[in-house]
Amino acid sequence: MLPHAGTFALALALQNAPPAPPTPSAPAAPVAAPAARPERDPSASELDDGCRAFGAAPPEERDAVVAEIARRIEATREPSLRQLLGWRDRAVKELEVVAAPAPEYYDPKVYARGLVNRVVASASDADAAEKRELYRPWENQTSYFGTVRYDFGRNQGLDLGGALRADESLRNFLFGYPPGTDRLVAWVTARFDFDATIDPLALHFDHVYCDLNGKAYPEVTLYDAWASGTSHDMPDVDVIAYARLLLKDDSWVSPIPSHVAQPLYEKVGAGFLKLFKYRVWIDAAANVFVNPEAPIRGTHEGLRARLLYMYGLDGGDLEKAAARIGGFDSRGDFLSKIDTLQQEDAGSERKFAEFTSKRANARWEVARAAYAVLREHALLARSEPGK
């Protein structure tokens, strides 16, 4: 399971409910008898109580609850949700998914003349806990639970194995994520990923982070360490592997003299920056396409409004969105051209709102299916209609 989501209590789903759906327009003519008003959406405290009640229920009841929620979601007639489910079904058929490989580090015997011996740190190792806190790998993982993620280096979906627990499925539903969101987002990411020059960079920085003492940390990748912005070790093994495999320069050997190392370190840093800017952009594009409120790394929040406007230009059409993204030379080109389009478009706010409204309708449909089933099992307090 994905550890970032696992650090949240299930009840945190309450704090980020789907955006309010648009107020429906008044009917053209009065009806003879108004339809019964649905129960109001639960408050945060009510949902908190409901999540605790769900957690205390017998395992078979929890399984039955999430199965029934999933069944109702699959049976929906809500157009925006049906569209997402249709894309999810295409993702299942079209996305190539392989078993996730075991964490891999560069071999010191190949890249450092065997001058270093690798020791793999266990998850319970004090040093491993320190590295997790320093490099925060969860910041590069999804905010929903899933077992499939997209790999930018292999251009495939990676199956991490296992299955979602009932509490993990419920948390996804309460956030408005339908079943199979992980495959859907991975497939959309694959559709948006257009730059093949990123592949070798992604493969390199997907290797396990190792310190200068030779210890390897399987829960932390080179990408995590660099993306954290925190000072980290740069062992000769990793740096020389970068020089040989990406720069095609076989002249470097270990130990690298300190007085000549800096230019090589700078080239590694430039490679990471290229990957980081691209991956954050494409990751955000795929996640925001499915859920406009999906988290984006804090300093890159400015991507959201541009992406939502871009999707609004074509009414949320996936094929056109993929074509637009593939038509930009770079992330900078995307920002510049979208800003120009938006500044010249008097209807930009309407297009933005139409797209987000459709996604909000889909998310509310999912969340309210969860509310209804929880209430039917007496796990969530009922409310008086309309109050």
Residues near 88 by beta carbon (within 8 Å), at least 6 away in sequence: 178, 179, 180, 181, 183, 184
pLDDT digits (tens, 9 = 90+) for 244-291: 999 999 999 999 998 999 999 999 999 999 999 999 999 999 999 999
Backbone angles phi, psi at 272, to 5 degrees: -60, -45
Residue 5: its pLDDT value, please?
28
Q: Residue 73 and residue 68: Cα distance in Å, rounded?
A: 9
Residue 37: its pLDDT value, please?
52
Of 375, 192, 368, nearest to 289 (Cα)?
A: 192
Q: What is the DSSP string of 81-115?
A: HHHHHHHHHHHHHHS-EEEPPPP----HHHHSTT-
- pTM reported for the whole predicted model: 0.89
HSE, side-chain direction, 13 A CA sphere, residue 96: 7
The answer to whether 128 touches 217, Cβ cutoff 8 Å, is yes
HSE, side-chain direction, 13 A CA sphere, residue 164: 25
pLDDT beneath 50: ranges in the chain: 1-36
Provide the phi-psi class of 65: left if phi over 0, else alpha when psi is between -120 and 50, else beta: alpha
Backbone angles phi, psi at 21, to 5 degrees: -70, 155
Max CA separation in the chain (angstroms): 87
pLDDT digits (tens, 9 = 90+) for 186-209: 999 999 999 999 999 999 999 999
pLDDT digits (tens, 9 = 90+) for 146-169: 999 999 999 999 999 999 999 999
Range list of β-strands (E), the chain: 97-99, 119-120, 148-151, 156-159, 208-210, 215-221
